[in-house]
Chains A and B, each alone.
Chain A
Amino acid sequence: MITLRHNRVELALHEIRAGAGRPLLLLHGLGEASPDRVPSRADTWAGPVYGLDFTGHGASTLPIGGGYTAEILLGDVDAAINHLGEVTIYGRGLGGYIALLAAGAAPDRVLGAVIADGPGLTGGPTEPTSQAVVRLVDDRHTPDPYALLELGRDLRPADYALDFVRMAVTGSDLDEPINVAAVFRPPWLAAVAAAPGVAGLDVPEALALYAG
């Protein structure tokens, strides 16, 4: 396991399968952690495969008192990319949304982001709503209950998600740097899937495309 630093958080980056060539970076869903084995749908990937445990998940630091946002997890992925260099990302659920943000933030280093079904795909409401301000029982174990609460309701307006698609498409050499493989498509993801520069292949096909 490789330990990366993001501000005061230590992030666990797992080498799931060694190899040569461009790494595939797996981003887990909300409340999950990196898998021990390469998922069957990614088994054909020729290069090394890594999994990143997000802040408050798996073997990464458990913060005190919550305060999660999707943008903080983007900072987690930025730390992983700085370590690995060019990557292709395969994200499940919440990890799929973060993969989109990363593809927009670093289009020259994220060579393809595959968004798949998984926990935390939807996010919270995109209009002001009543808000439960609650303190949770914190047993100092990952996954952090505050991560489940806050990242289960983080705001994902479609126009915000589309800004990241535009940044990815503008900055990438790939024709279609984003691929929506998810069957379930909440509003932000439906908007992303319909945007120019976004493919709709299943996971093995998309990874084959990005492997080049």
Chain B
Amino acid sequence: MGIAVNEWGSATDPILMLVHGGADFSRTFDAFAPLLADAGWRVVAWDHRGHGDSDHTHLYSFDADLRDAVRVFETVAGHDPVAVLGHSKGGAIMTSLADAQPFRFKAFVNLDGIPYRRPGPDLAEHQRAEALGTELAGWLAHRRRTADGVRKPGTIEELARRRGTMNPRLSTEWLEYLVTVGARHDDDGWRWKLDPSMRMGGFGPWRPEWALFRMAGLAIPFLGVLVGAEEPMGWGTRPRHVEQWMPRHGRLEYFEDLGHFIHIEQPQMVADMVLEFLGDPA
């Protein structure tokens, strides 16, 4: 399976890995990554399987994403530690990897990818089973039709508008740019490259806070960034949810008025904060 990797900056500079989130792709770093590269980092980002220019495959899972990440680390950096920034699900994946293979990390920035233990809705057991049943039926219905699934074609403006419902805080101009790098142009219009068999949400036995518990034991320099503005793709994590699980020497920054895609909303501010945290690349 082919994994597409993008780079910014000089190949001889120290490596900084950028890890995108669910339904995103590495080119969503197009505005942010050059600011880090200009400061002396070799910035490397890859498209997760099924995303961007990486291959679509048969199966997708968190564990498979972890394994693909290790393959990229091995290829780019061998066994040397590197600086890592993970956004959203990319932050959760990197939290697991930092626990499983700490030798690969020099420093770790988790950009609004810190999950927390959501207090379950106050449901009786039969209501919980009913809710799971509904979710399950929707998921199985999706699995049944996904064999021949193709994404809906549209103009650049249409695709940008659709994505805008998930990214209401991002500008039309940016969303339209994303179409040109995250979609492909077929005879009947543009289609997002994201594998149509993938589906947001879902169900399963995984508890999001398990990644959180792993965070407490990290010994590498750690910067956690959380945001306060609510939006569909946001995780809703607030400092009070995670403070007790912070690594001993970790730092937590909170931006009340910014959203989940903080590095797209305020690329220069986030880049300056990350560069200050990471220090001199050399």
Q: Which residue of A lies closest to B3 (CB)?
A: A65
Q: How many A-B residue pairs have CB under 8 A?
A: 116
Which residue of chain A has the shortest Cβ distance to B66 in the bound complex? A133
Residue contact A166 to B126, C-beta cutoff 8 Å: yes
> Which residues in chain A, 40-82, are within 8 Å of chain B measured between CB atoms?
55, 61, 63-69, 71-72, 74-75, 78-79, 82
B282 at interface by CB-CB < 8 Å: no
- Taking a contact as CB atoms closer than 8 A, the residue among B56, B67, B97, B146 that contacts A66 in the complex is B67
- With a CB–CB cut-off of 8 A, which chain B residues contact A170? 126, 129-130
Beta-carbon contact of B129 and A163 below 8 Å: yes
Main secondary structure of the interface of A (DSSP, over half): loop
- In the complex where A66-B67, A131-B96 touch, is A166 in contact with B129 (Cβ < 8 A)? yes
Interfacial chain A residues near B202, Cβ < 8 Å: 71
Contact A66 B147 (CB under 8 A): no
A119 interfacial by beta-carbon distance below 8 Å: no
Could you say which residues of chain A place their CB within 8 Å of the CB of B99? 130-131
Chain B binding surface, main DSSP class: helix
Kindly identify, within residues 190 to 206 of chain B, every residue whose CB is under 8 Å from any CB belonging to chain A: 197, 202-206
Which residues of A from 3 to 35 have beta carbons under 8 Å from B?
5-9
Contacts of A212 in B (CB 8 A): none
Q: CB of B265 within 8 A of chain A?
A: no
One digit per residue, 1 when the CB lies within 8 angstroms of any chain A CB and 0 when it does not, for chain B 116-139 equals 000000000110111011001101
B100:A133 contact, CB within 8 angstroms: yes
Q: How many residues of B contact A (CB 8 A)?
A: 45
Cβ of B240 within 8 Å of any chain A Cβ, yes or no, is no
How many angstroms between the C-alpha atoms of A33 and B208 in the bound complex? 33
* CB of A58 to closest CB in B, whole Å: 16
- Please, how many angstroms separate the alpha-carbon atoms of A8 and B54 in the complex? 17
Cα–Cα, bound, A155→B205 (Å)? 6
A132 to B206, CA, bound (A): 17
**CB pair A64 B66 closer than 8 Å:** no
Q: Is A204 an interface residue (CB 8 A)?
A: no
- CB neighbors of B among A85-99 (8 A): none
